[in-house]
Amino acid sequence: MKFTYCPECKDLRPRSWHNWGTCSLCGAKSRIIAIPLSIYGYLSYALSAIGAVFVALEVTETDVGLGQYRLYIMFGSLISAMVFFYIELNRTTELAKQRVGKVH
């Protein structure tokens, strides 16, 4: 995961796809901090993909022979993906804070 850190206003945020190295608060040049993903990040991506496949199957009304369990798998995987992403975001935020020296 990537974060932007602005040395001018001391702002640390997760990097958005449209941010190319400028601070969203003051407009100064910011530093990019890359934190490698853990198993929680990879699980969130995998569960999101599973949920997206089941959403696509539901929209196209394709029967995969699971009955009502397809809904449990769809919603369960999407909710689990959000939980794992939240855990990963907290972990990477703490690591990014340590890298810039914001944690005492």
Q: Of 55, 5, 2, nearest to 26 (Cα)?
A: 5
Number of other residues whose CB lies within 10 A of the CB of residue 87: 16
pLDDT > 60? residue 32: yes
Is the CB of residue 21 less than 8 Å from the CB of residue 32?
yes
pLDDT > 80? residue 17: no
Q: What is the pLDDT of residues 57-91, one digit of tens each?
A: 999 998 889 999 999 999 999 999 999 999 999 99
Q: For the chain, what is the mean pLDDT?
A: 90
Q: What is the distance between the alpha carbons of residues 42 and 76, in angstroms, rounded to a whole number? A: 17
Check residue 104 and give its pLDDT. 39
Res. 27 pLDDT band, cuts 50 70 90: confident
| DSSP character string of 17-58 | TT--SB-TTT--B-EEEE----HHHHHHHHHHHHHHHHHHHH
Res. 42 pLDDT band, cuts 50 70 90: very high
pLDDT, mean of residues 38-50: 96
Boundaries of every domain in the chain: 1-34, 37-104
